[in-house]
A and B are shown apart, each in its own frame.
Chain A
């Protein structure tokens, strides 16, 4: 099961966070800070999976942006690792060459995309066209 989904930049600023398990607000900031500290301290040739407390972190770096996913024992690390990539590919397709700014200023869209893909901690959709379908409908409505 996926516990949380984070997007953090190298300066440690959280760009997106989505929790699938209840975590108190003040604990979230602490958790995020520690998670990013852990990820930043690792070099390129080290494993993309880290053990953290009683769960595991899977992270992937895109330029200055880290995508970190917290998972529990039952989840397949590699599958989550690729899910991150899939997510970024979807973002890339929607924003056509996604950048950190896109994510900052279109946070609602990013959330919609993420919610289409991950629900209650489970991976529910990975088909790029289908993930974006509702979003395109929304955009059309907005135009009219």
Chain B
């Protein structure tokens, strides 16, 4: 029961205390207990994956457990892990396949059956894992083909649950590396789904079809009539799913019909989430495939008016950006803008129409920017319309601001306008301060036309306005105030930090010290306030000016460039291809109709076609036109070709299969072994131990906290002063670091000469670097012409990757480029590329790169490539494995500093480790940590030790160890939350190894 609770609710902090208990339970004789233990571990994995890193092999054991329940429970862990990183578990594919084979083959006890289907949910789980494993990996996928085929075949019983399995199967087949035979079978399966009269199955079929169609649009052709039917289905969810499907098959030619259908649905639906997602999709399609300007503007208008204010803010932003930036063709831009202006004017003409705020904002922006393109409309009319809008009650303050900006822009282009004057008069006395502000600005600008013209140049919305973000014009003022003795400005977080550490001191020391710290803090704030306040008032005075300037252009910043790159180019191509296609379209639609409804057309009973069917077919032809390359036109011919292709492919597959079969058998046998193994019988006395260990653990923790309290007392007296010093030193160290970086990373020419002069091809480090701690030189990759070696140099403040490129040829190599790719966890300082213009024959060149760990991980890969010219362009790829330890350096500090820093750090992790017999003595254990992990031993007091290290460039991590009866209690603290976890993992590894 306790285990059940553990697997449901459990605080992250308590894991280390309970983990050993649960690990023991994994060996319990009752399978239900083992199962619960695995489930508890799954929960741990979900909330803190780092803390169970070291027991991954135990998961493997659970996977091979002789009890099905335990094995099934471990699958959840694997599904999660494979989801995160599938590459690490490829070797388990064989086991998963065997398990699935056994399940499908009915080898499980009979009570696992559900309506005579063996453990269906287990099958689904396994299929999901396989799908993830086989994704984009032909080799792993090959292992699965057999079993997938088997499951497809077995699942023939007519029951809902088999359909669920089939659906999962189809999904897996289409996720993994494709195999034509299986695809064919899966497609047939989907056909059965879609044509089923049961509504639930139809839904499932549509969902599968949506999934499949991305890979094979031709499948949609087979089911087009069904899809059309579903489109008019009374059940909204079926409709919704069909639209989803259509969205996937949209192209330049069917976009108009599909978007129309989607808009129809949009108008009916009231669910906010549906509107958001569907409106987004319509806008995307419209941008991508719009056949002409008029249609585009109208569609977008519909989206804005239907979508209302819930649409994603990106949609109006993208749309405006599109209008503003335009395309390569100036004339087309003009037309688009012109049409937009005209349509909005027409919309605004109606007296009491109601439009969503976002739509109004878009309208006012467009009118403001481009209304002058329309020559036949008096700007006065536009102004009156905007003016009318301003007076409406439903318009919010934000929209009013947009409208006012538009009015200002238009006013700048007209000489004088009655409406503007009226507007100024009206709003100068408005209760809304914002409006009043705008009105006054407008008034002043109207008086000074020259300034106005320069402020609002026509069509300059894309030009960047340079904003002085550092507020350099205030520098003089700051210097003056500083000269009068004010304290320099400290950023917010720094102040916070100082305050925090002071507060902590207060908590620990109720007497004596509280006086000192409160004094310092009050004095501190007293000094702080004058600058802070004056700063605040000054910027606020300025912000009004800059703020207004920004409104015109800044709103568009940071929006993605969707149309320019993806959308417009395909559109152009479509236009070119259109002439050809125009000819084939009618033929295509005819043929499509015939294929879809063969019995009727064959008997030539065209006359008996009901009106409805004709309509449907017409719709079908418009919807599916242009699918694939030339889809409908040669449906029959295409099918033949496809069959031929399949035949050829399947032959190859067969030969491959015969080669593979022994392999599969082998792996099957291997995986079966452990399954049949009996449980290791080492549960002796574990239960007895539990209680004592628990007590020990609790004693431990109370001890350490007491010790710490005692430890902190003498130091805290000097706290405030030290705090500042600490901060200072941290600051200076980081700045020093930056300097030294620059010095080191430019490879010194003398060193290069030295290495170049060596005729030996074996690379070695230049003198100055060789003295530093470094790894062995390892080969990364090589070709006939050159070899690439790597040596990691651990300098005090960085990790230097020294790359040696040796030319093995007898002639010189030209233009050798070394490029590092962007890695998730690492960051290359300086530029990630390095070029050697020439490498002499039989010589070695080297370069250095400084790497930093961006995101904390225990191990990661840094990919890169090298290419060079020798006769032809050659490209070699390599990957460097970097571990967390490469970035850990000892941190020198005194015991006092340690105590200080310890208190200021928030994230802590505790764990108890068993000590092996070889490291009996405490100092021996600490030495291991010092040597292997590069930790700095700050102090050892009795059976306690404190160690410190830093993650480059300067993230400290402190460790407090305490030994007690064969257990080593580790307690980490660091400002970074992930660092203690990863470091703990390294500690565990090191301690287990030694």
Q: Give me the interface of A with B, judged by CB distance under 8 Å.
A: 45-54, 76-79, 81-83, 86, 115, 119-120, 122-130, 133-134
In the assembly, what is the distance between CA of A47 and CA of B46, in Å? 34
Q: A76-B168, A130-B69 are in contact. Are A50 and B32 (CB under 8 A)?
A: no
List the one stretch of B116-124, B554-562, B861-869 in contact with chain A.
B116-124
A123–B121 touching, CB < 8 Å: yes
B42: chain A residues within 8 A (beta carbon): 119-120
B124: chain A residues within 8 A (beta carbon): 76, 79
B32–A127 touching, CB < 8 Å: no
* Range class of the B interface residue count: 35 or more
In the complex, B4 has a CB within 8 A of chain A: yes
Other A-B pairs beyond A82-B164, A126-B121, 11, CB < 8 Å: A51-B237, A51-B240, A53-B272, A76-B164, A77-B204, A79-B161, A119-B42, A120-B46, A124-B72, A126-B120, A128-B111
B8: chain A residues within 8 A (beta carbon): 115, 119-120
Q: A76-B168, A130-B32 are in contact. Are A115 and B4 (CB under 8 A)?
A: yes
In this complex, what residue of A is CB-closest to B32? A133
A127–B235 touching, CB < 8 Å: no
In this complex, what residue of B is CB-closest to A54? B273
Q: A48-B200, A78-B204 are in contact. Are A86 and B114 (CB under 8 A)?
A: yes
Q: A54-B273, A120-B43 are in contact. Are A79 and B164 (CB under 8 A)?
A: yes
B560 to chain A, nearest CB (A): 22
B271–A127 touching, CB < 8 Å: no
In the assembly, what is the distance between CA of A76 and CA of B237, in Å? 16
Which residue of B7, B120, B122, B203 is within 8 Å of A47 (Cβ)? B203
In this complex, what residue of B is CB-closest to A133? B32
In the complex, B160 has a CB within 8 A of chain A: yes
In the assembly, what is the distance between CA of A86 and CA of B203, in Å? 21
A60 to chain B, nearest CB (A): 10
B274: chain A residues within 8 A (beta carbon): 51
Q: Which of B150-170 contact A (CB under 8 A)?
A: 160-161, 163-164, 167-168
A47: chain B residues within 8 A (beta carbon): 199-200, 202-203, 235, 237-238
In the complex, B76 has a CB within 8 A of chain A: yes
In this complex, what residue of B is CB-closest to A57? B237
Q: Mark B40-52, 1 if CB is under 8 A from A, else 0.
A: 0011001000000
In the assembly, what is the distance between CA of A124 and CA of B7, in Å? 12
Question: Closest 5 CB pairs between A and B?
Answer: A78-B164, A79-B164, A82-B161, A46-B235, A47-B199
A126: chain B residues within 8 A (beta carbon): 112, 114, 119-122
In this complex, what residue of A is CB-closest to B273? A53
In the assembly, what is the distance between CA of A115 and CA of B8, in Å? 9
In the complex, B802 has a CB within 8 A of chain A: no
In the assembly, what is the distance between CA of A46 and CA of B203, in Å? 10
In the complex, B39 has a CB within 8 A of chain A: yes
In the assembly, what is the distance between CA of A82 and CA of B121, in Å? 9
Which residue of B46, B114, B237 is within 8 Å of A50 (Cβ)? B237
B22 to chain A, nearest CB (A): 15
In this complex, what residue of B is CB-closest to A117? B121
A25 to chain B, nearest CB (A): 16
A134–B32 touching, CB < 8 Å: yes
B712 to chain A, nearest CB (A): 37
In the complex, B382 has a CB within 8 A of chain A: no
In the complex, B439 has a CB within 8 A of chain A: no
Q: Mark B216-234, 1 if CB is under 8 A from A, else 0.
A: 0000000000000000001
- A to B CB contacts below 8 Å, 22 in the list: A45-B199, A47-B203, A48-B199, A48-B200, A49-B237, A51-B274, A52-B271, A53-B273, A76-B164, A76-B168, A78-B167, A79-B164, A81-B164, A82-B114, A82-B160, A82-B161, A120-B8, A125-B72, A126-B112, A126-B122, A127-B111, A130-B32
In the complex, B100 has a CB within 8 A of chain A: no
B273: chain A residues within 8 A (beta carbon): 53-54
Q: Which of B67-120 contact A (CB under 8 A)?
A: 69, 72-73, 76, 111-112, 114, 119-120
A108 to chain B, nearest CB (A): 12
In the assembly, what is the distance between CA of A115 and CA of B121, in Å? 16
A64 to chain B, nearest CB (A): 22
Which residue of B1, B7, B203, B237 is within 8 Å of A120 (Cβ)? B7
In this complex, what residue of B is CB-closest to A123? B121
B76: chain A residues within 8 A (beta carbon): 122, 124
A54: chain B residues within 8 A (beta carbon): 273
In the assembly, what is the distance between CA of A36 and CA of B203, in Å? 21
B168 to chain A, nearest CB (A): 6
In this complex, what residue of B is CB-closest to A125? B69
Describe A's contact surface by its main secondary structure: mixed
In the assembly, what is the distance between CA of A17 and CA of B334, in Å? 59
In the assembly, what is the distance between CA of A50 and CA of B238, in Å? 9
In this complex, what residue of A is CB-closest to B199? A47
Q: Mark B120-155, 1 if CB is under 8 A from A, else 0.
A: 111011000000000000000000000000000000
B160: chain A residues within 8 A (beta carbon): 78, 81-82
In the assembly, what is the distance between CA of A39 and CA of B199, in Å? 16
In the assembly, what is the distance between CA of A83 and CA of B160, in Å? 11
A76: chain B residues within 8 A (beta carbon): 124, 164, 167-168
In the assembly, what is the distance between CA of A129 and CA of B199, in Å? 32
Q: Mark B175-198, 1 if CB is under 8 A from A, else 0.
A: 000000000000000000000000
In the assembly, what is the distance between CA of A129 and CA of B110, in Å? 11
B111–A79 touching, CB < 8 Å: no
B199–A46 touching, CB < 8 Å: yes
A122 to chain B, nearest CB (A): 5
Q: Which of B260-312 contact A (CB under 8 A)?
A: 271-274
The residue in B39, B43, B161 that gathers the most chain A C-beta atoms within 10 A of its C-beta is: B161
B353 to chain A, nearest CB (A): 30
In this complex, what residue of A is CB-closest to B119? A126
A45: chain B residues within 8 A (beta carbon): 199
In this complex, what residue of B is CB-closest to A74? B128
In this complex, what residue of B is CB-closest to A20? B8
In this complex, what residue of B is CB-closest to A89? B114
B927 to chain A, nearest CB (A): 42
B168–A127 touching, CB < 8 Å: no
A50: chain B residues within 8 A (beta carbon): 237
The residue in A45, A53, A123 that gathers the most chain B C-beta atoms within 10 A of its C-beta is: A123
B4: chain A residues within 8 A (beta carbon): 115
A124–B39 touching, CB < 8 Å: yes
In this complex, what residue of B is CB-closest to A122? B76
B200–A79 touching, CB < 8 Å: no
B111: chain A residues within 8 A (beta carbon): 127-130
The residue in A50, A83, A120 that gathers the most chain B C-beta atoms within 10 A of its C-beta is: A120
In the assembly, what is the distance between CA of A82 and CA of B204, in Å? 14
In the assembly, what is the distance between CA of A122 and CA of B164, in Å? 16
In this complex, what residue of B is CB-closest to A86? B114
B83 to chain A, nearest CB (A): 9
In the assembly, what is the distance between CA of A128 and CA of B240, in Å? 36
In this complex, what residue of B is CB-closest to A127? B112
A86: chain B residues within 8 A (beta carbon): 114
In the assembly, what is the distance between CA of A82 and CA of B273, in Å? 27
In this complex, what residue of A is CB-closest to B40? A119
A123: chain B residues within 8 A (beta carbon): 121, 125
B69: chain A residues within 8 A (beta carbon): 125, 127, 130
In the assembly, what is the distance between CA of A83 and CA of B76, in Å? 17
A68 to chain B, nearest CB (A): 15
Q: A47-B200, A48-B200, A49-B237 are in contact. Are A82 and B73 (CB under 8 A)?
A: no
In this complex, what residue of A is CB-closest to B46? A120
B49 to chain A, nearest CB (A): 14
In the assembly, what is the distance between CA of A46 and CA of B238, in Å? 9
B235: chain A residues within 8 A (beta carbon): 46-47
A133: chain B residues within 8 A (beta carbon): 32
Q: Mark B3-39, 1 if CB is under 8 A from A, else 0.
A: 0100110000000000000000000000010010001
In this complex, what residue of A is CB-closest to B171? A76
In the assembly, what is the distance between CA of A86 and CA of B238, in Å? 26
The residue in A115, A127, A130 that gathers the most chain B C-beta atoms within 10 A of its C-beta is: A127
B39–A119 touching, CB < 8 Å: yes
B72: chain A residues within 8 A (beta carbon): 124-125
In the assembly, what is the distance between CA of A17 and CA of B483, in Å? 67
